[in-house]
Amino acid sequence: MARVDRNIEPIRVTVDELTAHLARLCPENRIDIAGAVTLPCTMHHEAKWWSLLTEGRHAGLDYLTGDPAGRLDPTIANPWARSLLVFSQRYTAGWPAGDSAPVSGGPAGDADTTPWTDRVSRYARGLDYHDILLKDIKKVVTGLREVWPGLTAFPVTDTGPYLEREYAWMAGLGFLGKNTCLIHEKLGSGLFLGVAPTNLDIAGLPPAGQPAAEPLYAVTARRRRTPVRVAASHCGSCTRCIKACPTDAILPNGGLDAGSCLSAWTIEWRGKAPPERRAEQGGILFGCDICQAVCPWNQRAAESPTSPPVRREYEVLPAHAEIGLADLLELSDDEFRERFRRTPLWRCHPAGMRANAGVVRDNLLKEG
Ligand code: B12
């Protein structure tokens, strides 16, 4: 990655000042959790990242492999950056027990009555988080800039060269599950993440490389007096996600073989799952929630939903009810564009959506 030299001076702030402003700006802008990390810092799970690349578990996603040094150290591209702000927004209030059917990939005898949106990951049933969350983060940043006019910050969600889950853990937003997801002990893992490198030099944060015990802001009240998140994982001996994954994508001790993940097959590979493995896709149309749906942390989150509710933009779009699975098989490119342009489903392109629908139809016919 090219080094961008900018004459940007750091701004000295205290963690208490930042916390006070986040406490005001996050709820106003529907951000559910926020924190900060001092840059540069050590990546604790650097080895996990390297093994993904060296063992070829990155599903052939070239955007993951470019510029490894830059990905591990954002200050190479942004030498002016002193901290990384991390933001999270819920897209679902957990997964109730038993929710994984019918997208579980098992027999789907009620194929005729299952809305096709039940076969889509929850994160992708409404509007696109790249628009919603990013706008919300930008509003928080604008609010911070009113306080600190010299603030430089480049918010991004998903698309930047940042290991967002690692930073979210470092910033105290949650812990990392065996399924590699960032899990908040009360909100579960139905969370989007976004980050912003900034020139805020924040006094009072844990030293660079030391994970924070708590986020700076959370929509939930503290549950425990002694924060428990500093350990990387709180999965204990639980292996539910490992056992439930129909394609064995989650490794025996945690971590993901992305090339076996249904999410990669249906989103990134656009319906081009290996022909001999298509039956493993079962009734899943787009994305996959199984490793999250079976997670006890998510089932607990669903049982005790927190207020305020999840942003309604992430709920199933009413227009989706106008069509069924069979229509997706024949959706024209124009109709795909019209229906899905501002949704996460856009990512798999029209041909990918038709291919995914074809795999589901074939699997349902076989199972039925
Ligand atoms: C590429 C990508 C994918 C790929 C590959 C995922 C992967 N695990 O490598 C595919 C297409 C498969 C995918 C799937 C999904 N993704 Co995705 N994805 C990304 C993206 C763009 C990059 C991830 C990356 O760099 N992977 C490389 C690996 C090594 O890093 P990592 O997965 O972040 O893992 C880190 C830690 O978890 C830790 N780690 C890894 N293994 C283990 C094991 C243990 C035991 C421990 C303790 C730690 C640990 O080390 C890594 C480095 O810090 C990020 C956005 C971003 N810029 O970070 C979104 C992102 C990770 N995805 C997200 C989501 C929502 C999903 C899905 C749930 C979508 C769906 N329902 O289908 C699934 C979940 C699948 C899964 N179990 O991971 C969210 C995650 C939110 C969260 N709560 O964690 C992100 C952050 C997008 C966002 N901005 O919100 N994704």
Q: Which domain holds residue 272?
A: 11-367
The amino acid at residue 205 is L
Q: Residue of the nearest CA to atom 75 in ligand 1?
A: 263
3-state secondary structure of 201: strand
Q: Residue of the nearest CA to atom 78 in ligand 1?
A: 180
Of 56, 60, 55, 48, the residue nearest 268 (C-alpha): 60
C-alpha of residue 271 to centroid of ligand 1, in Å: 20
Say what the pLDDT of residue 104 is.
Answer: 45
The secondary structure of 91-119 as a DSSP string is S-S---TTTT-STTSS--TTTTTS-GGGG
Task: Output the CA angle 32-202-41, nearest 5 degrees.
Answer: 85
Say what the pLDDT of residue 50 is.
Answer: 85
Q: Is residue 172 part of a domain?
A: yes
Determine if ligand 1 sits within 6 Å of the CB of residue 256: yes
C-alpha of residue 165 to centroid of ligand 1, in Å: 7
Q: Is residue 6 part of a domain?
A: no
- Total Cβ atoms within 10 A of residue 50: 13
C-alpha of residue 352 to centroid of ligand 1, in Å: 21
Q: Residue of the nearest CA to atom 49 in ligand 1?
A: 180
Q: Is residue 4 part of a domain?
A: no
Say what the pLDDT of residue 105 is.
Answer: 45
List the chain pLDDT tens, one digit each, 368 residues.
Answer: 444 556 899 999 999 999 999 999 999 999 999 999 999 998 888 888 888 888 888 888 888 888 888 888 999 999 999 999 999 999 999 999 887 555 544 444 455 578 999 999 999 999 999 999 999 999 999 999 999 999 999 999 999 999 999 999 999 999 999 999 999 999 999 999 999 999 999 999 998 888 999 999 999 965 554 555 567 789 999 999 999 999 999 999 899 999 999 999 999 998 888 999 999 999 999 999 999 999 999 999 999 877 688 999 999 999 999 999 999 999 999 999 999 999 999 999 999 999 999 999 999 888 76
Torsion sign, CA atoms 243, 306, 84, 174: negative
Q: Is residue 170 part of a domain?
A: yes
The number of the ligand 1 atom at minimal distance from the alpha carbon of 249 is: 77
User: Global pTM?
Assistant: 0.95
270: left (phi over 0), alpha (psi -120 to 50) or beta: left
Condensed to tens digits (0 to 9), the pLDDT of residues 108-140 reads: 445 557 899 999 999 999 999 999 999 999 999
Residues sharing a CB contact under 8 Å with residue 218, sequence separation 6 or more, in sequence order: 32, 33, 34, 184
Determine if ligand 1 sits within 6 Å of the CB of residue 163: yes
Determine if ligand 1 sits within 6 Å of the CB of residue 162: yes
The number of the ligand 1 atom at minimal distance from the alpha carbon of 157 is: 89
C-alpha of residue 180 to centroid of ligand 1, in Å: 6
Residue 309, Cβ density class (10 Å: 0-12 exposed, 13-18 middle, ≥19 buried): exposed
Determine if ligand 1 sits within 6 Å of the CB of residue 165: yes
Q: Is residue 255 part of a domain?
A: yes
Determine if ligand 1 sits within 6 Å of the CB of residue 187: no
Q: Is residue 5 part of a domain?
A: no
The secondary structure of 39-55 as a DSSP string is SS---TTHHHHHHHHHT
Say what the pLDDT of residue 5 is.
Answer: 52
Number of domains in the chain: 1
Say what the pLDDT of residue 7 is.
Answer: 83
Pocket test for ligand 1, best of 256, 266, 292 (most atoms within 8 A of CB): 256
Residue 70, Cβ density class (10 Å: 0-12 exposed, 13-18 middle, ≥19 buried): middle
User: Would you please indicate which residues are annotated as catalytic (active-site) residues?
Assistant: 158
Pocket test for ligand 1, best of 48, 128, 137, 284 (most atoms within 8 A of CB): 48
3-state secondary structure of 37: strand
Determine if ligand 1 sits within 6 Å of the CB of residue 267: yes
Q: Is residue 3 part of a domain?
A: no
Q: Is residue 276 part of a domain?
A: yes
The answer to whether the CB of 192 falls within 8 A of the CB of 145 is: no
C-alpha of residue 335 to centroid of ligand 1, in Å: 30
Say what the pLDDT of residue 101 is.
Answer: 52
